Amino acid sequence: MNVSFTYSSGLLRRYLAPLWRPALLMSALLLVAIAIELIGPQIMRSFIDTAERGGPASALANAALLFIAAALVGQAVRIGAAYMSEIVGWAATNRLRGDLLRHVLGLDLSFHKQHPPGALIERIDGDVTALANFFSQFVVALLGNLLLLIGVLALLWREDWRAGLGVSIYALVTLAALNTVQRVGSARWQAALQSEADLGGFLEERLRATEDIRANGAELHILRQLDTLLTSQLAVLLRAFLARTYIFITSQALFAVGFASGLALGAWLYTQGQATIGTAFLITVYVGLLARPLEGIRNQAEDMQQASAGLARVAALLGTQPVIREQPSAELPSGPLNVTFAGVTFSYGDELPAGGSQADPTTQPDHVLQDIAFDLPAGHTLGVLGRTGSGKTTLIRLLLRLYDPGAGGIRLGGHNLRDLALSDVRRRVGVVTQDVQIFGASARENITLFDRQIDDAAIWRVLEALGLRELIERLPQGLDTRLGSGGVGLSAGQAQLLACARVFLRDPGLIILDEASSRLDPASEALLERAIDRLLAGRSAVIIAHRLATLRRADSILVLDHGRVAEFGPRATLAADPHSRFAELIRLGEDASTYR
């Protein structure tokens, strides 16, 4: 990750520049708050010295009122500064969050295979939140603390050079000492955070697999793993908490020493007749005031390291370019689309950007797809068969340009796939995948994929056309029924039916159907058959079929075997040829995915 500092700071500037007005206001408020904080002890000194002299009561009352007013105004101004800083912090980072999310969604599938969602969430949310804290608290806190420190020291120097010098040395020593203990603590703390992330990852993965774990009776194993994990985490957490305690004790001791020295210095100056009792008090209060900025500055130095590490990671992510480049020079025609594969060869891993961890070509495993060639005229349906792992889903990914082939070319609607805009391809090609993603949202949103422009009438027209009206009407709240997590669960077949409606709504020119390999119940199966028939009418289609029934509507058949075309031809011809694999499959009448 060689992200230059200039890039990171450029990023900062890009997101902060539009917010200069609130940032300016924030700084001004902060300055006022600190000035008021420094004035407080001065008022108290005058109060004490006046009382000592036996001055008029009205002067005392005025000093007291002034002190109270200053304290109130100081608090109000501080709140204002904190408010402005939150605005600056969140306004800047929310835009960054949005940009990051859009960027990541636009990256290739190969990128996403390498970066699990958990890690990306950490980038988009964790790192950016650290940045938000940095903007909103750090700037205010560090700036404020620095100014307070400088202010206290300057006022002490002005009061008495010995007080100024002594306290300045004390401040430096304390900062250095705090920094040293902090460094030990921070390493242990990082280890604790990492172990928490590990635990989170473990739990997420296991909870996701609850169904499989239960079904296979693996609960005990999982619990044992958890036990081991927790035991090792306990040790790490204990060390971290101990370190935190050391730091706390050290800083408290240092501040106590400082306060005592301030008190002694004040007392000495007073007994020497070099200062009034008010001044002695002032010195003590100022030294006491130092504890906060000293500790704050030390904390913020650590925050700054974290924020800059986060910023570097965010910058690296934003700098990642998709491998699949768009140079659209053509547009897909309307109506059904034809498809041509010519000598297409592909392996996963080929698509890694140059300079990445590319496998040694001599040790590279067989291609996932090799020399695939076929032709699908517009309006026709191609049935693709092949054992599990033979490359069927991969073929479809290439057709959608989720990956680019290593060799050969793909034409869609008469154009080279590389000459088309990705958005054009994905709008005009409708896909029903092997495992349809159902979102935790209403049935309506699941069908429209959150497009609010589509009204209910259009949805019902589609459901009617696909024969799915009843499916939705049977749901407890119809289109408003919440599906997915926390809602009504759908079977694999029902999910595919819903996906058919999704695709139909977009009126694509090519349908890709990667059939669920799980068996469907007869009712869903009948519904799906009807829906697919309606869906395919007047369109081209590539169907990966696991059921023979689905293949009846194919005009031609492609049989894949270990990534190669084992058989390709018109369905009727293959069915009539007693030696063809397809004919054998029909004779056996088996599940299409388990032939031979």
- Which residues in this chain contact ligand ATP in the complex, by CB under 6 A? 113, 348, 368, 386, 388-394, 434, 593
Based on CB atoms, which residue is closest to Mg ion, 181 or 395?
A: 395
For the CB of residue 391, give the shortest distance to ligand ATP in the complex, in Å: 4
Residue nearer to ligand ATP on the CB measure, 351 or 445: 351
Q: Does 593 bind Mg ion (CB under 5 A)?
A: no
How far, CA to CA in Å, does 486 sit from each of 121, 435, 442, 458, 573?
Answer: 21, 19, 11, 27, 50
Q: Which of 306, 393 has the CB closer to Mg ion?
A: 393
The partner in contact with residue 368, picked from ligand ATP, Mg ion, none with C-beta cut-offs of 5 to 8 angstroms by kind, is: ligand ATP
User: Is-contact 37 74, C-beta < 8 A?
Assistant: yes
Stretch that binds Mg ion, among 138-146, 302-310, 392-400, 450-458 (CB under 5 A): 392-400
Number of helices and strands in the chain (H, E): 21, 10
Cα distances (Å, whole numbers) of residue 303 to 138, 142, 285, 371, 518: 7, 10, 28, 55, 51
The least distance separating ligand ATP from the CB of residue 546, rounded to whole angstroms, comes to 7
Nearer to ligand ATP, 365 or 476 (CB): 365
Which of these ranges, 86-94, 154-162, 326-334, 389-397, lies near Mg ion under the rule CB under 5 A?
A: 389-397
Residue nearest to Mg ion (CB): 393
Which residue in 560, 575, 132, 568 sits closest to 374, CA to CA? Answer: 568
How far is the C-alpha of 277 from the C-alpha of 275, rounded, in Å?
Answer: 6
Burial tier of 100 (Cβ tally within 10 Å: 0-12, 13-18, 19+): buried
Query: Which of 20, 201, 228, 221 shows the shortest CA–CA distance to 122?
Result: 201
Q: What residues have CB less than 8 Å from 457, skipping those under 6 apart?
A: none
Side chain identity at residue 82, one-letter code:
A
Considering the complex, what minimum distance in angstroms separates the CB of residue 386 from Mg ion?
A: 9
What's the Cα-to-Cα distance from 513 to each of 365, 431, 435, rounded to whole Å? 28, 6, 11
Interaction partner, residue 113 (ligand ATP, Mg ion, none; CB < 5-8 Å by kind): ligand ATP
Q: How far is the CB of 536 from ligand ATP (least distance, A)?
A: 20
Q: Encode 473-496 in three state secondary structure.
A: HCCCCHHHCEECCCCECCCHHHHH
CA angle 198, 128, 297 (to 5 degrees): 95
Residue whose tokens read 């304390």 = 174
Binding segment (CB under 5 A) for Mg ion, from list 13-21, 230-238, 393-401, 519-527: 393-401
Q: 348 touches which of ligand ATP, Mg ion, none (CB within 5 to 8 A by kind)?
A: ligand ATP
Of 342-350, 390-398, 441-449, 451-459, the window that binds Mg ion (rule: CB under 5 A) is 390-398
Judged by CB under 5 A, the residue of 42, 340, 393, 481 near Mg ion is: 393
568 binds, among Mg ion, ligand ATP, none (CB under 5 to 8 A by kind): none
Q: Which amino acid is at 456?
A: D
Question: Smallest distance, Å, CB 113 to ligand ATP?
Answer: 5
Other Cβ atoms less than 10 A from the Cβ of 253: the count is: 11
Give whichever of 276 and 393 is closer to Mg ion, judged by the CB atom: 393
| x-or-dash string of contact with Mg ion, 334-373, rule CB under 5 A | ----------------------------------------
- Give the nearer residue to ligand ATP in terms of CB position, either 345 or 434: 434
The footprint of Mg ion (CB under 5 A) covers 393
